[in-house]
Amino acid sequence: MARTCLTRLHRDIEELQNIEGLDDWIRISSPPAYGLALSNPLFRAELKAMIRDFQPHLVIVDPWNSCVRDAMEKDFQEGFARLREVLAESPTEPACLILHHLRKPKSDDRHKGRNLAHLLSGSYVLVSVARSVFVMQPASDDTEDARVVVTCAKNNDGELGPRSAWRRGTGKFEEVDAFDWEAFDSGSSSSREPKVKEEHLRQVFGNGLAPIKMSEAAAALMEVADVGRSAAYKALETGEGGRFAHILLRQPGTAMLSLRPTAEPRAEVSKPSIRSDS
């Protein structure tokens, strides 16, 4: 059960490697027009039929607020009861992963560790019902920073373990080495991820004019500039407002990019010196 738009989903999956047989393991629903209407008996009946047919081992709900009408305790309790009813249709007794938003931040927020669970939006019921809670926070306020910090704030079946920093990529997360925890805890902007520079683009395109597929250019840019996927694609925008639109050229009707041709520097013509002999 997902809310990701199909266009973005198609693009993301297209860039993954070695996905043969993926349909045998994953089912992704289109975003329902009226959300995950678990209060509707007909919707639950359709969902139960899908669960019985596929028999999943894991069901992911994204986002939780599409399952409930409000953020009050009663709404959350009813939502969980109906979700359990649906999951019970599978003989595999599937686990359930729920994606939920944090509440709006406050200026005095200094939550860490277990206390991060209190940042979840809505009723405390969500935290009390869940066997474990993982909180994912952006590493900085920089919109081009693809790094996140993940903290286990609750674990009924084991230790919480240390928090960790990761970089979001295409279909995967890569652990960040030498993350500046002091800067993150203090809210310092020095923890921001490096931005894409023009020299990075010229390195990706090899200073040549041969077109490259956008997905390949983005993957190379992520590695060369050490940035996340969103920052790489943003740097490759060729429309109005694109940071590097002045040097990038997109082939009409395709996803192929190249560098714009630049004029060769004009050779200086030396003027003959006039010498007068007296």
Which positions ≥6 away from 3 have C-beta within 8 Å?
Answer: 31, 62, 63, 66
Contact by Cβ (8 Å): 198, 205:
no
CA-to-CA dists, residue 49 to 43, 45, 46, 68, 76, angstroms: 10, 6, 5, 21, 24
Taking the C-alpha atoms of residue 66 and residue 44, their distance in angstroms, rounded to an integer, is 14
- Model confidence over 43-85: pLDDT tens digits? 999 999 999 999 999 999 988 988 888 888 899 999 999 999 9
Predicted pLDDT at 264: 41
Predicted pLDDT at 107: 64
Rounded to the nearest integer, the mean pLDDT of the chain is: 83
Does residue 104 register a pLDDT over 50? yes
Mean pLDDT, range 11-16, rounded to an integer:
73
What are the phi and psi torsion angles at 138 (to 5°)? Answer: -65, 145
Predicted pLDDT at 142: 82
Contact by Cβ (8 Å): 178, 167:
no
Percent of the chain with pLDDT over 90: 31
Contact by Cβ (8 Å): 78, 68:
yes
Taking the C-alpha atoms of residue 59 and residue 270, their distance in angstroms, rounded to an integer, is 75
245: tokens are 């639109």
Does residue 265 register a pLDDT over 70? no
Contact by Cβ (8 Å): 250, 207:
no
- Model confidence over 134-187: pLDDT tens digits? 999 999 888 778 899 999 999 999 999 999 999 887 667 889 888 888 888 887
Does residue 273 register a pLDDT over 90? no
Choice between 169 and 41, residue whose per-residue pLDDT is larger: 41
Q: Is the overall model pTM greater than 0.75, yes or no?
A: no
Half-sphere exposure of 278 (CA within 13 A, CB side): 0
Does residue 256 register a pLDDT over 60? yes
Mean pLDDT, range 32-39, rounded to an integer:
84
- Model confidence over 105-141: pLDDT tens digits? 776 677 888 999 888 888 788 899 999 999 999 998 8
* 26 confidence band (pLDDT: 50, 70, 90): confident
